[in-house]
Each structure stands twice: as structure tokens, then as C-alpha cells.
Structure 1
Amino acid sequence: MDGTSEYTHLKRRFSRDMANGVAELARLGYPARIFHRMLAELGAVEAARRLVLDPKPSYGLWRLRDLHRLDASVEMWVLLPWYELLFDDSVREQAARKLRLLDVDVDRELGQLAARLTPTN
């Protein structure tokens, strides 16, 4: 797969994962309306990039912490190794920084999330 088609494939996969994540959060009682709207308006990669690069942790990130579901946060998913091509170092570093602000052991949590997931085609 060439670089362009790989990037397009990853964007589609990330979009699907974000849509599934929003649906899962709604089932948990957190509809993530702002992020859902961002997905529709900007697409998943740009919505994630903007959310992560905002210097303050979002309400949604705090809410996920309260639900003990930071594994469902955009910040965590941006850090998954199979999505590295979609996000530059500044985005990935900011995602990790925000999670650390919430006392997350990023390496441990990311390892657990990655082990639990199998990238879909």
C-alpha cells in the first residue's frame, strides 16, 4: 500500500473508531455532543487534532475521567501506534501531556488499550 492510500485507509478507520466511540459513550450516559458535532463538521482527524491542541483539557476529558473511561478519550486514541501517521509529534505530545495532567500513567494505559484492541481493516 502506498503512502497516500495508507493515509486514506487510516483516516477511514479512525473516523469509524471515533463514531463508534461516540456511540459507546452515549450508551454510558455521556452523549459527547460537541465532539459529535465536530466530527460532522470537520472530519475525525481534524476534530481530534483541534480538540487535542486546545491548551486546556476539555469538559469531555474531565467527564471521561469521572466515568473511569479515559481509554475512550480522543487523547488516548491519537496515541495508538497504528494512528501515528495521522498525527504529528506536536499533537501526540499534547495528547500525552493532557492525560498526564489527569494523573494518567500514559504508557501503561496506552499499552493496555492497544493490547485490548485489534486494528480493523
Structure 2
Amino acid sequence: MAEETREELARQFSGDMHRGVAELARLGYDPKIFRMMLADHGAVEAARRLVADPKPSYGLWKLQEKNRLDASVEMWVLLPRYERLFDQTTRDQAERKLRLLGVDVGRELRQLAARLQPPA
């Protein structure tokens, strides 16, 4: 199978971000600001902007409170499948923010990646 283009990856990332927003709404948290960022900038740029802010966002704190940091933009930016969409600075910042919240990033990424694998 040919390697996916950056545009195909960006479309997949966008779909994942929109599904994530819908899932969070079902859990009782509506990430309004991120929804607006998605509409205004698209998923990849919205993620870059959110991660670039040095302070953890309100949404990141809310996700920690709900024990759902796996649904955070920061975690998805770090997924190996989306590595080509984000530069190392963005990825480092995402990891730093998660570590500030006490996340074992390696373990959480492995668990998230395993959940996303299609059944064999």
C-alpha cells in the first residue's frame, strides 16, 4: 500500500478531531473554543495553535478532570500516525504539557494507538 499523502493524513486528522469533539459533547464537555478553532483554521492549524500556547488550556484541564486525556489534541498530535503533520517543536510542546499534568505519555500513547488499531 502506498504511503498516505500529507493531505490524506490531514483529512484523517480532521475527521478524528471532529469525532473527538462529538464524543466529548456526549460526555458532558463541549469544547466550544476548539470547535471554533476547527471551523476557522482547520484541524492541523487549530491543533498547532492550541499546542503552541505554553499554558495548558481549560479544555486540557477538563479532560484531565474527566480522566480523558487520551482525547486531548496534545495526545493526538503525538500519535505516530500523525507525526508528519507536526514539526518537532509542536510535538515537544504537546508532550511537555501532558507531562505537566503527570501523564505517562509513552504508556498513554501505546494504549491509544492500540485502541485505534483495526481488529486483526
Instruction: Report the counterpart of residue 91 of structure 1 in structure 2.
Output: 90
**Structure 2 unpaired stretches of 5+:** none
Identity rate of aligned residues, in percent?
69
Instruction: Report the counterpart of residue 37 of structure 2 in structure 1.
Output: 38
Instruction: Report the counterpart of residue 81 of structure 1 in structure 2.
Output: 80
Instruction: Give the C-alpha shift of residue 118 in structure 1.
Output: 2.6
Q: Partner amino acid for 1:90?
A: T
Q: What is the distance in 2 between the residues matched to 1:90 and 1:118?
A: 27
Pairs within 5 Å for 1:53-92: 53-92=52-91
Q: Partner amino acid for 1:16?
A: G
Q: What is the distance in 2 between the residues matched to 1:117 and 1:92?
A: 20
Q: What is the distance in 2 between the residues matched to 1:22 and 1:72?
A: 9
Q: What is the distance in 1 between the residues matched to 2:41 and 2:13?
A: 13
Q: What's the TM-score once normalised by structure 1's chain length? A: 0.94
**Structure 1 unpaired stretches of 5+:** none
Q: Partner amino acid for 2:72?
A: S
Q: What is the distance in 2 between the residues matched to 1:76 and 1:99?
A: 8
Instruction: Report the counterpart of residue 19 of structure 1 in structure 2.
Output: 18
Instruction: Give the C-alpha shift of residue 104 in structure 1.
Output: 0.2
> How many residues are treated as equivalent by the alignment?
117
CA RMSD after TM alignment? 1.2
Q: What's the TM-score once normalised by structure 2's chain length? A: 0.94
SS of the residue 2:5 aligns to: helix
